[in-house]
């Protein structure tokens, strides 16, 4: 699987740890930054990763900031993206199985490296179940399309 990953200055260390795990598990990683500790804006990196996913340049995305919340909010503004900020393995499995989430957001200041790796593994080991969940994801997609039409 192809992953686009990104972070702001508050997620730099955890991003490196998670990128290594993705590569260990055989995934391709495209790192879209940031690459250093200088203060930067999370929305820029959320947009880059979300666009890579929505345009099919990546199958899934991974974003890290201080809490994961800002990344999630920004990424979800890009059509076709279903980003989820997670801090437990149950939700990681469920959001893949039931919501077909395609961007994982984590907070380096919220979860330690050990838990973050467990969350990533749970995310990677789960897959969309379809069925009744497909109908619900379709409604999310329709809501997204309706919202974008109303802004034209």
Active-site residue (options: 65, 105, 133, 151):
65
Q: Are 43 and 63 in contact (CB under 8 A)?
A: no
Is 98 catalytic? The answer is yes
**Domains of the chain listed by start with CATH number:** 2-150 (3.40.1400.10)
pLDDT at 147: 79
**pTM for this structure?**
0.95
pLDDT at 145: 87
What's phi and psi for 111, nearest 5 deg? -115, 140
* Average confidence (pLDDT) per 10 residues, the chain, 152 residues: 98 98 98 96 98 98 98 97 98 98 98 98 97 94 83 65
pLDDT at 151: 64
- State the Cα–Cα distance between residues 67 and 133, nearest whole angstrom: 28
pLDDT at 60: 98
- State the Cα–Cα distance between residues 146 and 122, nearest whole angstrom: 32
What six digits make up the tokens of 8?
Answer: 């702001």
Is 65 catalytic? The answer is yes
């Amino acid at each position: 699987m192809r992953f686009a990953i990104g972070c702001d200055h508050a997620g730099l260390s955890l991003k490196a740890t998670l990128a290594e795990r993705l590569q260990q598990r055989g995934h391709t990683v495209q790192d879209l930054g940031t690459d250093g500790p200088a203060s930067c804006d999370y929305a820029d990196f959320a947009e880059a990763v979300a666009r890579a996913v929505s345009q099919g340049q990546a199958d899934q995305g991974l974003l890290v900031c201080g809490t994961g919340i800002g990344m999630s909010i920004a990424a979800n503004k890009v059509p076709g993206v279903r980003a989820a900020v997670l801090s437990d393995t149950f939700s990681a499995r469920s959001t893949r199985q039931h919501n077909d989430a395609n961007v994982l957001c984590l907070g380096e200041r919220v979860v330690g490296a050990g838990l973050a790796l467990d969350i990533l593994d749970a995310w990677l080991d789960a897959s969309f179940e379809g069925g009744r969940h497909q109908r619900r994801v379709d409604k999310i997609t329709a809501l997204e399309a309706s919202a974008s039409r109303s802004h034209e």
